[in-house]
Amino acid sequence: MTSSSYPMVSVLRTRHTGYLLFTSLLGRLPGAMAALAIVQLVHSTSGDFAFAGLITAVYVVAGAVGQPLLSRLIDRIGQVAVLAVSGILSFLAFTGMALTLDPAPGAAVALAAAAGIFTPPLEPALRALWPRLVSPGPQLKAAFSLDAGAQEIIFILGPLLTVAGIAVFGPVGNLLFAGGLGLIGALAFILNPAPQAASRQRRGDVAAHNGIRSPILNPAVARVAAFTFGIGVPVGALTIVATASEAARADAGLAGWILAVNAVGALIGATVVGIRPLGSTPERLLTLCGILLAVGYLPLAVTALPTWAYVVAAGISGLMLPPTLGQVFERISQLSPPAALTEANGWVVSAMTLGVGAGTLVAGVIVGASGTSAVMWIVLLAFALTALLSLIALPSRSFPAR
């Protein structure tokens, strides 16, 4: 087996890549832990699920706002300073939220917003480094697919670490544990020479950013962001679909299996395209990948499937997520000038987050109003929206790259 035959192997053998991927994932763990950690903490104090939903939503929305803002700052002054300061501030906000939630819930909400806003933008930071670390073409495609697939590990480990953290540290200590992992990951990431070199170059070329508009004002980037929002919708809806299916079948633990197998499907999809990257350009592949992702969720609308078949369908629905996200990252790297690449990646990260949140919210409202029998309609609605938003990425509607 040669690295030329298997681009993913070549990527992992490239200097710095394994370390940066690992520390980036470590620093992103709070994003997969915080929601459950906050809900469990509120439940252990007031038991008010409405308030738990509110404070969690504040954290998620604030994070979606903060990512492009901090990413724009990285494009101006470099990764090291921004990731270090934001990591410290986010950890302090997590600490304050944990300690004030019971005596001062209003302050806890404000601190949840701060924890979200100052979440270190490790995801867009790493995406901006990939073109500097690996060769264009198959290697870069494999790097983006590897990055997208590795995220699934976060969402497998996050809930497990939360359960373990509560058992070891208690609900309050668990939130500090989550924030601490984020801080450690961010600080470890910037100890690597690659972010440091990128930061020195950015500080030495401040003029490169002057006069460059926010990339979201580029219609082509905005279309990719809207597309990314669309692929986030079924991902978010799946949490409610899995929970409702568990209730409808009276099968305790089924929701966990559905979500876990979905993540395994995504890992398989990432591995396949990492070994054999898709041959065409992301401009041509985005719409196709988005529609295939939407189609992959359709079997979940057949609620009469046997339980084992329904779990298999959940795995199939995850297959296209990493390949699709890989096309998004590669397309963004083509559309944005290097001086604004981190911010451009920050916008698509936020779009994905908002899509997931919207999918969860709408699906939850539908099930709350109509019961578990509404699963079929939730899946069909998510399919239609994702397929529709995929059409805006058609090549005929694209704009020149730079």
pLDDT in tens, 119-145: 999 999 998 898 888 888 888 888 887
**Are the beta carbons of 245 and 254 closer than 8 angstroms?**
yes
- Rounded distance, CA 176 to CA 85, Å? 17
So what's the pLDDT on residue 276?
Answer: 75
pLDDT digits (tens, 9 = 90+) for 260-292: 889 889 888 888 877 777 766 777 889 999 999
**Are the beta carbons of 345 and 124 closer than 8 angstroms?**
yes
Asked if the model's pLDDT at residue 396 lies above 60, the reply is no
- Rounded distance, CA 24 to CA 26, Å? 5
Residue labelled with tokens 């980036």: 24
Which among 352, 299, 302, 296 is positioned nearest to 319, based on CA atoms? 296
Asked if the model's pLDDT at residue 206 lies above 70, the reply is no
DSSP of 141-157: HHHHHHHHHHHHHHHHH
Task: Give this prediction's pTM.
Answer: 0.82
* Interior angle at CA 323, CA 384 and CA 151, nearest 5: 100
